[in-house]
Structure 1
Amino acid sequence: MTAYKMRKIVFVIFVFLLALVLCAKRKEDKTKCPKVKAIRNFDIEGILHKWYVMEYYASSEEALAYRCMRAEFTMSSPEVITMNFTYSFTDDPLNEQLIGNITWTIPNPAVPAHWTHSEDTYEGVYNTYVLDSDYVSWALLLHCAEKSKVPRYLSSFIMSREPTLGINVISYLREKLPQYDIDLSFMFDMTQVDCNATNLENIPPSLLANRYPIEMGDRRHPMKHIHG
């Protein structure tokens, strides 16, 4: 092998390793939300009404904490959209259904698939994007919250109008997420089975006394993240 070929090989290896280092450095910055292109020609009225959450991801969770999550979108004005939702904790043997909500504003009417969190209680920037939807059967949402000098919070929902969704559709939607730094190994199935609320009045007091106190502050609200 000539000296010229050797230098050429060394140069190619150097460029390759440099690219790996630059890529690793780029991915080390977890404080900023990824650049997102919301769905084009978005019909915001088409996303309204009831949905089942089929798969769920949150960057701060390594195990699924929730089950039976269902959502309903409403609009109080052309600029304000609210999601009311119900859910249960996976480790609650009584399957008590909890309720929550989150409200966004639409900052740019020309981009109605991008929403920003409008509640004063959250100090950072909370963005939600509708990445894709056919409106009648499935939708894909991405949420990202960022605050200065702390890790960003990423979450995502695969949603369905029905309690089940075809595996091909789920695979199609999952493939859209890695470009936004979402690790699919932590994208969890959200069960929609046995979701009826439990009548606590019929539960023995001994079981109630031993269940996990779900009102404690260490239980996360599935749509809000308090940065430390």
Structure 2
Amino acid sequence: MKVMIVLLVPLLVPFVSAQTFRWGPCPTPMVQPNFDLNQYLGKWYEIEKLPASFEKGKCIEANYKIKPDKTIQVLNVQTYEGKVGTAEGTAVVKDIREPAKLGVRFSYFTPYAPYWVLSTDYNSVALVYSCTDVLRLFHVDFAWILSRTRTLPAKTLSQAKEIFSQANIDVSKMFPTDQQGCDVPV
């Protein structure tokens, strides 16, 4: 087992440099009770996040809408080095008994990754968590604080981080997304 860990660590260093990884399996936090997907749809702005290699820009937003096949279109937009980039994916409700536990993917060649809505009031703030176990030795996790506006009051951010912490999710490396100057054409 030690040999396997020694061999894996050098291979994983580039992967985890822009991610947050922790030893042990993923936590299993509670999700939003009675989650209503229709109220959640629409535009959300990223306010803070754990490091994610696929999100290096500013003015990051996510747009969700139901597609004709009843899956959810996910359209992420960000500005990076002066250029607006998009990533389109698909989300699905994995189990109708737990509608706040979605799966999302951005390529047909990848499995669905967890996208769990831990808490939302639908009108101003949402807390989202994703975690993937790697051989149950460690996990890579992502967490986002989203808002319907480009800013949130400090008190709301503090309360959001407390909810993550109570769910055993370490958000000490969470940092703000630059949402300044986003409504001006690039």
- TM (norm. structure 1) is 0.63
Per the alignment, do residues 78 and 134 of structure 1 end up closer, same or farther by CA in structure 2, a change over 3 Å counting?
farther
Give the conservation status (yes or no) of the 8 Å contact 1:128–1:141.
yes
SS of 2:23 mapped into structure 1: coil
Alignment CA distance shift 1:168-1:180 (3 Å): same
Gaps of 5+ in 2: 1-20
Instruction: Determine if contact 1:97/1:197 at 8 Å carries over to the other structure.
Output: no
What residue number does 2:32 align with? Answer: 39
Matched, 1:84 2:75: yes
Amino acid in structure 1 at the alignment position of 2:96: P
- Asked if the contact 2:22/2:140 (under 8 Å) is kept, the reply is no
How many residues align? The count is 163
Alpha-carbon RMSD: 2.6
Task: Kindly indicate whether residue 161 of structure 2 is the aligned counterpart of residue 174 of structure 1.
Answer: yes
Q: What CA distance in whole angstroms lies between the structure 2 residues aligned with 1:138 and 1:147?
A: 30
CA deviations on 1:186-219 (whole Å, 9 max, x unpaired) are: 1111111122453xxxxxxxxxxxxxxxxxxxxx
1:27-176 equivalent positions in 2, closer than 5 A: 30=23, 32-58=25-51, 65-76=56-67, 80-89=71-80, 92=81, 95-117=82-104, 119-123=107-111, 126-148=113-135, 151-176=138-163
Q: Which amino acid aligns with 1:33?
A: C
CA contact (8 A) 2:30 2:167 kept: no
Paired residue type of 1:102: G
C-alpha deviations, 1:17-63, integer Å up to 9, x for none? xxxxxxxxxxx9735221121110111111100111111113x66xx
Q: Counterparts of 1:42 and 1:78 in 2: how far apart (Å)?
A: 20
Q: Structure 1: how far apart are the matches of 2:40 and 2:69?
A: 13
1:115-167 Cα offsets, whole Å, 9 max, x none, are 123554225x6211101111111111111123436742211111111111111
What is the distance in 1 between the residues matched to 2:120 and 2:31?
A: 11
Q: Distance in 2 between matches of 1:77 and 1:42?
A: 21
Task: Give the residue type in structure 2 aligned to 1:65.
Answer: K
State the alpha-carbon separation in 2 of the partners of residues 117 and 157 from structure 1.
Answer: 14
CA contact 2:27–2:169 (8 Å) conserved in 1: no
Paired residues of 1:79 and 1:107 also in contact (CA < 8 A): no
Q: Which of the pair is proportionally richer in helix?
A: 1
Which has the higher relative contact order, 1 or 2, with Cα contacts under 8 A spaced 6 or more apart?
Answer: 2
Q: Report if aligned partners of 2:22, 2:139 keep a CA contact under 8 Å in 1.
A: no
How many percent identity over aligned positions? 24
TM-score by length of 2: 0.75
Structure 1: stretches of 5+ with no match in the other structure: 1-27, 199-228
Q: Which structure has the larger Rg?
A: 1
